[in-house]
Every structure is written in structure tokens, then in C-alpha cells.
Structure 1
Amino acid sequence: MTIAHTEVDGVPTVLAPVDGPMTAGLVFRVGRADETLARSGITHLIEHLALHGLGMTDYHFNGATSPITTTFQSQGSESDVVAFLNGVCGALTDLPLDRLAVEKEILRTEEAGRGSSAAEPMAVWRYGARGHGVIGYPEFGLAALTPDDLRAWAARWFTRANAMLWIAGDRVPAGLRLSLPDSGTRMPAPAVTSALPVTPAYFHGPSERAVVYEGIVARSTAAGVFAGVLERALFRSLRQEGGYSYHVGADYQPRDATHASVYALADMLPEKRGPLLGEFVDVLAALRYGRVERTDVDAYVTKAESALDGADAAARRLPGLVQNELLGYPTLSPAELRAQLRAVTPEDVAAVAAEAHASSLLMVPAGRSPDWAGFTAAPTDSARPVYGDRYPFRANRGQSMVIGPEGVSLQGDGGVVTVRYAEVAAMLAWPDGARRLIGFDAISAHLEPALFTVTPAAMAAIDAAVPPELRVAMPARDPEDIPRPPSRVRLARRRAGRTLHRALHRTADRIAAVSDGVRWTLIIALFLVNIRLIDALDGNTPVRATVIAVSLLVALLLTDRGIRGLRRLAGYLLR
């Protein structure tokens, strides 16, 4: 069966017959990656408002906002599809803004009940706090969105020129009217940003139970085959042979007209973190070095070709075809796709694997590092602070907040984080005065005025430097959740702890600087002296017990294990 092309009220439309009820999808080239972080959620909110008037129906319908598209889809009789699409277009033209406050609360509830996906932290670490990285953050903009904001966004993005319609059915149903605004043009894909100075890179993810991989590749049939081969290789190594994982998967996802992401994921038990990560990285390395099984390529090609068969094969291709056309990517005919699939060789797959590796990002559990495999830790701090006035941390004079004309920095023993005003994606503002500036690179500076010797005028300078449209008003915090400056007693305890911390570290360093031979000579000498002291103290049990305990402790401190123990104790004192 072939796919037919037509128009409905100026909206490009594709059709293909289907065995069953009619299904239709109206797709707009707008998604979360088109939003700014400070006003994120606006597309999702418009989607909800457009669907509100439909209420409860006897047919199935849904809306979905992805990073690059927004889709309104319905399945039912021809009259059901007409009622749905006509209603959605009418609502997009005249949004039911009397529902604004209620729909905002519904979205907040939806977000609170939705679990995070592995794609969200991957997007933040790769793209930062803008573009495709916005999907990794909460919908910060919901509270501040006004009716005028929504009208302007709908007029810009939800237009005839920026839409396409697909219909799985024999014809365009009678009475269908896509009454969309004539303003606007076909919008390009969102700009690609980067928060990774070097790749391959890795970061420690929020989960102890998963390893996630992503590589960026040029869109091609061979890249899709690589994703399928990668899944088979990981499944065989991690589940069938190693028994490290239960769920293993890989996927190929178009990003724009030129590139796509190849994702792979494997779950695990926490105690399997080490061996699973090693095997995962080994599989990736094997593929890019050319160890690609011909049987894996053939198996995936057979599976992909089978999806092109069947009475509804053309209808199943409609959503992908529409997304391609909205992004400006040509869609292959079934015959062209079959020919390209059959032409893919193991060498082609290996070449894509090498391309993916060059841009790859790994999410690994805390405490694990694939640096031995050539992955570099993604940055968690900034290269340098801004110049400005320094305000020490009340509990530790070695830490400080710096506020300057270009931005803010937080400095401490662990490094520095800097957010410059020219690169602010959003500033979260709490009523009690706390501020969190999130930079384009996803590095954030959280400022708690009560914890620093900062003046109200200095904090006011931050508010004045950040444009109002980047400000996100946060709800009031419970008083118990607001950090307070430590008391003098606690400060004294912390100072004493830092002093002891430095002393223990210096002691550990000095012991470690002594050669192993000298340390073991001292341990043996201590043992011999201890025997003589014990004999001399015969009958004085308390003193003998003390001598034995002290001798054992000193001997332990002279060993590598003892040195590590001193360092751990020193670290504990700063908690």
C-alpha cells in the first residue's frame, strides 16, 4: 500500500489505509527544546488547554509534548476524528484561558507523580540548561506564564505552516476543518548546544542501578542498524553470559535533520556495578574495533524488513514520515529502505560505532569511573571565579561568595562554581531571599544569604543584574527548611574539627612519605620493645593493657591500612 499526499485547509497531509478504526495525528514542530528554562512548560500547558474542552468521550484521544514536536492524536469513527481535530484547532485559536490556574495545578500534579527517565540527566549533562537540555529540568515557567504569553506562543508555533496531519484511513473525513492561524512559518529544529568541553565523557548519575550510554551520529540506515546490533551484543554479554542485568535495551532517536542519538541502557543490582560497567564498556569497544557479528547485522535487518510488511505497514510509517518532513529530512520509500538495509555491512556498523564513541556520554553509578577506557569526567565546577566583592561563609572563612559586575561565584576547598549574568538560563528566587542561578552550562550557584556575611544591597545587585524574564518565583519554604547561621558553639566545634582534620592529614602524609622498609623496621622494633616492657610490668595489669593497646595502634598507623584510616577519620571530621 502506498502513502498519499494531500492538503487540508493548507496543512500538508499524508494518508494510508488501515485495517480498523481511523486514527489521525495533528503534529506541530514545537516542543520543550524550543522553550527557555525560565518559561519552560508553556508548550505542555497549551497542549492541556487545547484538550480540555473535549472532556470525557467514547473514543480514544491524547496529546503529547516531546522535545521537538507536539502531537494531538485520536482514534475512532470518522465523525469522532473530525470532532476531535476541529475542537483542538478551535481551542488553539481561542485558548480557554479561564482554565489557566486549574491546568497549571494539574501539570504540577502530573510532574510530581511522574518518575524521572534516564534521558533527562543525559540531556542536562550533554546540552546544558537550554535547548534539548531543558527536558531535564522541572517546568519552572508554569507559575509565571500569563494569558498574553500563551497567546503569543500559540500564534508563533501552532500555525498552519508549522503543522502536518497524518491519517490512518481511506480518506480525509468529511467536515474536517483545521482552522489554524495563517501567521508564522515552518520552524527549524532547535539549536544544538553543548555543556561538554571534551568527549567521550562520563558523569555520576542519580541511580545506583543503571548504566546509560548515548552517542551522537549522522542520520543513516547504518546508524539504525548499529543501535540494533548494540542491543543484541549488550543483551548477550550482560544478561545471557554475565547475568549482570535484566533489562538491556538500545534505541535510535532522530534529533534533527542531520543527526540522531543512539541510546543504550542496562539495569543492575548495586553490587554488580563494577563488573557490569566493565562489560558494558568492553562491548562498546569491541564494536568500534570491528568485532561485529554478521549474524547480529542480519538478524536486525530481517526484523527491520519485517516491519515493512503487512496490510497496515504504510499506516505505521505515517508518524515517522511526518516528523521527518517537519525536520526537513527525506523519507525513504520501502524499496529504498530495504535496499539500504541489505547493503549495511559489519564494517559500516563498526564505523558508526567509532563515530558514536567520539561524541559519547556515559552515566555511571557513584563511585565508579570508566576513565581507564578513555572517558573524561564531565565538569562539575567552573574554570575560574568572577572578580568582585568577597563575602565569607559564616561557618568556614575558607569558603566564600563572590559578587561582581559580571556574575557570582561560590569558592571553597572543593573548587569554584561561577554563573555569569550573560549566561543565566534561569534564576530561582525564594521569598526568604535565597537565590539559585542556573547557567547555560547547567552549573548552578545556590546562594543562602543567612549563611554568608553578605549585605542586602549586594543581594539586591544580583536581582538587578538578572533580567526579569529569567526570574522564577519559587513558593515559600517551610521555616524548618531554611538554613540558619551556626551558633558560636557550633562554629567553635567546626574550627576545632578543621584543625584536627589538618593535623590528621599532615600526620598521614608524613607516615606515607616514609618508605615501606623503614615502616616495617619500626613495627618490628616496636614489637620487640613492647615484649620487654610487658615483662618489666609484670603484675601491673592496667598499665600492661594500656601499653599493648597503644603499641598495636601505633603499629597499625604505620601500615597502608592505618594511613587510609587516618584520612577517612579526617574526612569524617568535616561532615
Structure 2
Amino acid sequence: MPVLSPVRHTLSNGLRVVVSQDPTLPVAAVCLWYEVGSCDEPRGRTGLAHLFEHLMFQGSTHVPAGGHTAAVEDAGGHTNAATGFERTAFHSVVPAGQLELVLWLEADRMGGLPDALTADSLATQRDVVLNERRERYDNVPYGTGWEQLVAMSFPAGHPFRALPAGSPEDLRAVTLDDCRAFFRRHYTPDRAILSVVGDVSPDAVTDLAERHFGHIPPSGTRTAPRPAGAPSGPAEARRHLVEQVPGPAFMAAYQLPAHGTPGCAAADLALTLLGGMSSRGLHDRLVRRDQLAHTARASLMPLAQAPSLGQLNVRAPAGADPAPRERAVVQDFDRLAHGGGPQEPQEGARAV
């Protein structure tokens, strides 16, 4: 049977429900997408959205701490979450017959997380988030490079200037009152999208969503997204850092068209070509052929409410001069911009 077109429905409290029925999949993949990320954090509270991703697994009105994950796994599924600049997404995959369990769990924490929020749970998850930051950024070679590039890409006070990881100082300053206020404003049905894919009936999913989420009041705080603004132009900022790393690295961020605007898809395709393993990619030239680098990657971080950021990361052997590596990157950028390229690599990049 063919995959049916998505069916959309909005509950009276603003929750948007999207169902894609696919009878060939004996599962239900559920994603509850909240329109909240690091760009929504109050000043001086960076990292709060990521902290909340963890707190959402620490219990709610009828679910004990850790009970959400345990219930999904006991049902034969798995669950996880992720926080970005503009969104926090909670996703689970379970056998199709366990769909209602997931919706009940998600509704219980949307409607009742503050019932389980305590000083102990906040302290525990704050330590977890601080430790994640140390493991991913502070205590690994080159770990703070991307954080500094993002800060250099936007002016002081810009909501996209700080990574979702946040600063240790801000995370340590978070209080229970901060958490409750942030939850009441952002983790509500009118700021969420519920999507379900699999061997499920759209009518049944809509009925279940109404049953479990329909009683939760909206916050009334949902507003039009902030305008993204255009890339700021040819201005360039550079920073030279000396740290204990295996070898020199050339890293860069480029302001590009915002997600959903003309040019973003083309930028994504171009960076996929450059960052991939094809004969047109940086890896082929800098790593395999010229042996100028150990790593050469490029990709796009799409943003809808700010210019998207192109990411470049070239790591060279110990003692190497970064300048020739940068020149080689610029040459490949120019070659792609003015010469196009064979159709085969472009088709492969589109498939990615």
C-alpha cells in the first residue's frame, strides 16, 4: 500500500497534530516538537532550554523520575530528545499498539511537569548538563571552536549568540522559579506540534490527542517568529587561538540565507558537495589527494529566525602551516561557485 498524504488537525488549545499513515511500518514514531530553544532563553540564563530537555524526563504528575523512559522501553520502544537554537524535540518509536502509552506520557509531562519539579531534580540534572558540556566542549581538543564562531557570527545580545549548551555560570544561576516560569511560557499545546508516522489511523490519532492533550490550557504566548534578517554582508572577523591540541585547525562559520528563504537549499547543496566524500569534496582533495589535512568537513546549520550558518572544519597535522589549507579551501569554494561540477556528484548530494 502507498504512503498516504499527511493529515493535519489543530486542537482547540492550539496543539497541531500531523499524522502520516504508512501501513508498511508496524510501529508508531512519535515526535512532540516544542517551539522553544536556546534563542528563547532569558538573558543570563543560557542553557536553560537544554536543561529543560533533561528535566522533562524527571517525572510529572503521574510518572516518577525516570518512569517515562522505563515505560517506553518496557513497551518495546525507545525514546530520546534533542535541543537546538529554535526547537526542542522529544521522539519515541514504539510498536503501533503502544501509541496511546506514548501520548499519555507526553501529555502528563506537558500538563504536569511542575508537580514533580524539585530542588534535588534540578541540582541533579544541572550537574548532568554541566558534565555534558565538559565532555563535548570544554575538555576535548578543538571543543570550544564552534562556540566561539557562533558568538563571532552575531552581535552582543543577539538571541542566537550562545550555543544551546549554555555557559556554566548561567546554568549554576538557574532557580526553580526560573524553571517554572520558562515551562509555563513555552511547554504548552499552542507552542507544540505532535507528529505521528506509522501504521496508525489519522482519525484514531486525532481522537487520542484530543483525549490526552485537549484539557491542557494554552499559554497564549505564541507569537509570530522573529524575522530572520539577511546575512550581514562581506564583513570578516578572525581570531587566532593557541591551545593544547594535536595540530592546527582552520574553522569558519559563514552567514547564509535563512531556512525557508530563497538560497538556503542551494547553500545546503553546495556545502553537502564540499563536505561529502565525492571527488568534488574537500575531503578528497585535502585529505586523500594532497594530504594537507586529517579532516575536512563542511555542512549547513539551517536557522529560520536568523541567518543560517555554514560550518567549515579543517584539521591539519602537527606543525603544519594553516595558510595553505585555507588557500586550498578558498580555491575549492571558487571552483564550485564558478565552475559548477559534474552532474553525478550533485545528484548524490541532493539525495543526502
Query: Which category of TM-score, normalised to the shorter sequence, fits these structures?
Result: 0.7 to 0.9
Q: What is the identity, as a one-letter code, of the residue corresponding to 1:45?
A: L
* Distance in structure 1 (CA, Å) of the matches to 2:252 and 2:172: 34
* Distance in structure 1 (CA, Å) of the matches to 2:173 and 2:188: 24
1:228 aligns with 2:246: no
Q: What is the identity, as a one-letter code, of the residue corresponding to 1:204?
A: H
Partner of 1:5: 8
Return the match for 2:108 from 87, 92, 97: 87
**Greater helix share, 1 or 2?**
1
Structure 1: which 5+ residue stretches go unaligned? Answer: 308-575
Return the match for 2:252 from 206, 210, 213: 213
Partner of 2:129: 107
SS of residue matched to 1:72: strand
* Distance in structure 1 (CA, Å) of the matches to 2:308 and 2:127: 34
Partner of 2:238: 202
Partner of 1:439: none
Contact 1:158 1:180 in 2 (8 A): no
SS of residue matched to 2:161: helix
Return the match for 1:66 from 63, 79, 84: 84
Partner of 2:332: 283
Contact 2:20 2:196 in 1 (8 A): yes
Return the match for 2:176 from 128, 147, 155: 147
Matches within 5 A, 1:541-556: none
Contact 1:286 1:292 in 2 (8 A): yes
SS of residue matched to 1:52: coil
Most deviating of 254-263 and 145-154: 254-263
Matches within 5 A, 1:312-327: none
* Distance in structure 1 (CA, Å) of the matches to 2:248 and 2:325: 10
Residues paired across the two proteins, number: 302
CA deviation after TM superposition for structure 1 residue 248, in Å = 2.5
1:299 aligns with 2:303: no
Return the match for 1:14 from 15, 18, 23: 18
Residues 302 and 192 of structure 1: is their aligned pair in 2 closer, same or farther, counting only changes over 3 Å? closer
Residues 180 and 268 of structure 1: is their aligned pair in 2 closer, same or farther, counting only changes over 3 Å? farther
* Distance in structure 2 (CA, Å) of the matches to 1:26 and 1:36: 23
* Structure of greater Rg: 1
Contact 2:14 2:191 in 1 (8 A): no
Partner of 2:147: 120
SS of residue matched to 1:104: helix
Contact 2:228 2:307 in 1 (8 A): no
Partner of 2:190: 161
What TM-score do the two structures reach when normalised by structure 2?
0.74
Contact 2:82 2:90 in 1 (8 A): yes
* Distance in structure 2 (CA, Å) of the matches to 1:5 and 1:137: 35
* Distance in structure 2 (CA, Å) of the matches to 1:137 and 1:144: 12
* Distance in structure 2 (CA, Å) of the matches to 1:265 and 1:247: 7
* Distance in structure 2 (CA, Å) of the matches to 1:155 and 1:263: 34
Deviations 1:178-215 (A, max 9, x none): 35441223345467799x99623322245644322322
Matches within 5 A, 1:36-435: 36-53=42-59, 55=66, 56-57=69-70, 58=73, 59-76=77-94, 77-92=98-113, 94=115, 96-98=117-119, 99-115=121-137, 116=143, 118-130=145-157, 131-135=159-163, 137-169=166-198, 170-171=200-201, 172=205, 175-176=208-209, 177-178=212-213, 180-189=216-225, 199-205=235-241, 208-218=247-257, 219=261, 220=263, 221-231=265-275, 232-256=280-304, 259-272=307-320, 273-288=322-337, 290-293=338-341, 295=342, 297-304=343-350, 306=351
* Distance in structure 2 (CA, Å) of the matches to 1:197 and 1:160: 38
CA deviation after TM superposition for structure 1 residue 75, in Å = 1.6
* Distance in structure 2 (CA, Å) of the matches to 1:112 and 1:258: 27
Contact 2:153 2:255 in 1 (8 A): no
Deviations 1:533-557 (A, max 9, x none): xxxxxxxxxxxxxxxxxxxxxxxxx
Partner of 2:38: 32
SS of residue matched to 2:10: strand
Contact 2:28 2:99 in 1 (8 A): yes
CA root-mean-square deviation? 3.0
* Distance in structure 2 (CA, Å) of the matches to 1:159 and 1:86: 10
CA deviation after TM superposition for structure 1 residue 174, in Å = 6.2
By relative contact order (CA 8 Å, sep 6+), the higher-ranking structure is 2
CA deviation after TM superposition for structure 1 residue 39, in Å = 1.5
CA deviation after TM superposition for structure 1 residue 129, in Å = 4.7
Structure 2: which 5+ residue stretches go unaligned? Answer: 60-64, 138-142
Deviations 1:38-58 (A, max 9, x none): 222222232222211251512
Partner of 1:320: none
Residues 209 and 80 of structure 1: is their aligned pair in 2 closer, same or farther, counting only changes over 3 Å? farther
Matches within 5 A, 1:520-535: none
* Distance in structure 1 (CA, Å) of the matches to 2:222 and 2:346: 35
* Distance in structure 2 (CA, Å) of the matches to 1:193 and 1:140: 30
* Distance in structure 2 (CA, Å) of the matches to 1:127 and 1:51: 32
SS of residue matched to 2:339: coil
Contact 2:15 2:192 in 1 (8 A): yes
CA deviation after TM superposition for structure 1 residue 298, in Å = 4.1
